[in-house]
Amino acid sequence: MRMNREILRLAIPNIISGITIPLLGAVSLAMMGRLDDIVYMGALSVGSMMFNFLYWCFSFLRMGTTGFTAQAFGRASRDGQLPRSEREARDVEERPNETVEILARGLFIALSIAVLILIFQQPILKLATVLIHPEESLMQVVSSYFYIRIWAAPTVICFYVFGGWLIGMQDTKTLMWVSVVINLLNVFFNWLFIFALEMRNADGAAIGTVCAQYCGFIISLLVLQIKYRAISKFFTRAVIKAVGDWRKLRRFLSVNSDIFLRTLCFIFVFSFFTAESAHHSQHLLVLNMLLYQFYIFFSYACDGFAHAAEALSGRFTGSGDLAMKKRSIKYSFTWGAGITAMFLVAYALFYHNILQMFTTDASVIALSKDYYYWVLIVTLVGMPAFLWDGVFAGSLATKPLVYTMIIASSTFFGSYYGFVGLFGNHALWIALTLFLVMRGLCLTLWSKKVIS
């Protein structure tokens, strides 16, 4: 029972904080759907995908930071066992150990990346345009959205590190509150600029997002100073040590480069998904992005348990307790199966109601009737890939993540080009399904080496 409680203690805040991210995207999409021209909805879909492509490239910082921090936390805790009280957990958190150095190292790399993004923002937009190739009618609106929202890059990338560090410190509750506040601020600022200040276009959504993310960055710094005051006083010294210790920096970069390659494959798959949707028609682009929201909602909920598995796998790897690691994996998969069943029931019963919350466009709603079953299929097959990702990342077993993603991505592109002539837009959903199945299957076969 203690393991179940620990998984839920870590997973529930992750689910809540994670689910606010697609909710935010859905609210912004719904706001665009209430404007006079569907071009703004299409532009927001394409612009958001550009930033997903850009930021996901550097989301390896979140996973890498979690793995290193969780293992350091496990080494610092008493024999790596689960804390018997809140006070015992707090005692471990407050020790001035290597976790502070890991945070400093991650933030240094994150800020370096963000500066390069701001310097090369024009080439980045040109590359994104070539990859996604939106319709000419969308291009001017997308460009304006991009050049506004790009200025939030430092806050977004640093928050990957901060969030990964909190998960590794087994403190998902704090991450939940910070994430919820940021996303509520995002909704508020979007409403403020789009409707209250009558910037009734994609620029209003971009400015609102930038304002919210900078507020979130300030909140993160305050949390670090207030809740982790005992270790924050060692932060300046940790920055100098983190930057100067080339051996540890190289190890950090090596692990994160594997996760980067894995993430890059993932991004290419989903960017291709959007690009091909845009090539079919503007209505199919909007439909696929709306249906993609169903997948995103489920994936973030599943990621709650994946992050719990990541934190616990890293912790028990650090402490050397293989039996507890295996137990945490078993229980995490049980909860993952439960959350999958819940989403299947919800989507089966309320699919049309949820869709109509996002758009009032009659053509999109009519098209959606032929795609209902894909929402259920993708939900059914996705869970193993998400949870194994967490276990492997927490164990810092990153090479199999790269190999698996290469195999799954090859399956995606091969199946799409094999079926597109017969099934058109449906071929994208066939390919996505096979992509998820292959990821789960390959990681399952590789898992014996990771947990033995």
Lowest mean pLDDT among 91-100, 173-182, 418-427: 91-100
For CA atoms 70, 71, 77, 82, the dihedral sign is: positive
- What tens digit of pLDDT does each residue of 118-153 get? 999 999 988 888 777 666 767 777 888 889 999 999
Radius of gyration of the chain (CA): 21
Give the HSE-up count for residue 104: Cα atoms under 13 Å, Cβ half-sphere. 23
- The per-residue pLDDT for 16 is 83
- The per-residue pLDDT for 94 is 47
- Which residue in the block uniquely carries the two structure tokens 């993004």? 117
Q: CA 255 to CA 234: how far, in whole Å?
A: 25
Element (H, E) at 61: helix 60-76
**Averaged over 242-267, what is the pLDDT?**
79
Q: CA 257 to CA 276: how far, in whole Å?
A: 28
The DSSP annotation for 75-106 comes to HHSSTTPPPSSHHHHHHHHTS-SHHHHHHHHH
Lowest mean pLDDT among 52-56, 200-204, 238-242: 238-242
- What tens digit of pLDDT does each residue of 28-51 get? 666 766 665 566 666 777 777 788
**Averaged over 396-418, what is the pLDDT?**
92
Report whether pLDDT(407) > 90. yes
Instruction: Please state the φ and ψ torsions of residue 88, each to the nearest 5 degrees.
Output: -65, -40
Buried b (16+ CB within 10 A) or exposed e, 302-328: bbbbbbbbbbbbbbbbbbebeebbeeb
320 conformational bin, left if phi > 0, alpha if psi -120 to 50, beta if neither:
left
The parent domain of residue 237 ranges over: 2-451
Confidence of residue 87 (pLDDT cuts 50, 70, 90): very low
Confidence of residue 449 (pLDDT cuts 50, 70, 90): confident
CA distances from 187 to 25, 140, 147, 148, 199 (A): 9, 24, 20, 17, 15
**Averaged over 343-356, what is the pLDDT?**
85
Report whether pLDDT(80) > 60. no
Q: Give the distance between the most distant pair of CA atoms in the chain.
A: 63
**Averaged over 19-30, what is the pLDDT?**
65
Q: Cα(first)–Cα(last) distance of the chain, in Å?
A: 23
Work out the number of other CB atoms within 10 angstroms of the CB of residue 112.
10
Lowest mean pLDDT among 72-76, 135-139, 320-324: 135-139
Report whether pLDDT(412) > 90. yes
Higher pLDDT, 51 or 98: 51
- Number of domains, the chain: 1
Lowest mean pLDDT among 88-102, 262-276, 284-298, 339-353: 88-102
For CA atoms 227, 229, 231, 235, the dihedral sign is: positive
- The per-residue pLDDT for 272 is 85
Report whether pLDDT(444) > 90. yes
Higher pLDDT, 338 or 80: 338
Provide the token pair at 84. 């018997």
pTM: 0.81
Q: CA 146 to CA 256: how far, in whole Å?
A: 27
Report whether pLDDT(155) > 90. yes
CA distances from 124 to 54, 146, 279, 347, 354 (A): 8, 10, 21, 37, 34
**Averaged over 147-162, what is the pLDDT?**
92
Which residues, 6 or more positions from 116, have their beta carbon under 8 angstroms from its beta carbon?
A: none
- The per-residue pLDDT for 442 is 94
- The top-scoring range by mean pLDDT among 54-68, 244-258, 403-417 is 403-417
